Amino acid sequence: LEGKTTAWARLRELENEKVRDLRTNDYQRIIDNAVVEDSKGSHPLSRSGKEKIKHLVSQLCQKAMEYDIIDKNYAEFILLEEKAAVNKGVFSVDEIRKLYNDATQNNDYTSWIIISLIFTGLRINELFTIELKNVYLDDGYMIGGEKTDAGKNRVIPLHAVLRPFFRNCMENTKPGQKYLLCNKAGRKMNDDNFRKRSYYPKLE
């Protein structure tokens, strides 16, 4: 609601205009010129803020079309700048070696999980939902994956590096354990808890 109220305030300069007379360039001008004033001065409105304005304009146009005031949704032609690409860091060979040494020499569970993520290409939530019944160590693969139809229940090869760790997990299960990797109680690990309590501290 707050975002919609702020977006509505941005459109105030058009309040005396008739909707039937407004076109894409009228809305585009407002979005392009939108700025934010803060302690650091004046700077362009964020992309997410501009998206909220565009969304509100689209809703207004849809309502006007419903009453036959206009015949197209002019918000569809509003242009926003491309989202900046997120530069995700990758582990170097030396970093992987450090993690592997920590995993094997210190039997560190967190390092083993990170090594597992690297060597399987799985996301954290995907790795934590691998069920014991879907791990075929002797055949060198497991079944898992999420997010897209193509990615679900896919065959995931198991590198020889991972097999001792996974075998140990399978040989030391808790009563009623369902998943390959689990917390101390034998339950499914929580993604957020792992990131905050184990993953990020280990990276440091």
Separation between Cα atoms, residue 33 and residue 31, nearest integer Å: 6
Per the CB < 8 A criterion, the answer to whether 192 and 202 are in contact is no
Burial of 85 (C-beta count, 10 Å sphere; 0-12/13-18/19+): exposed
pLDDT at residue number 42? 87
Radius of gyration in angstroms for the set of CA atoms belonging to the chain, rounded to a whole number: 26
pLDDT at residue number 4? 84
Q: Beta strands 35-38 and 141-144: pairing type? A: unpaired
Mean pLDDT by 10 residues, the chain (204 residues): 84 95 96 88 89 96 96 95 72 95 95 96 93 94 73 85 94 92 89 92 91
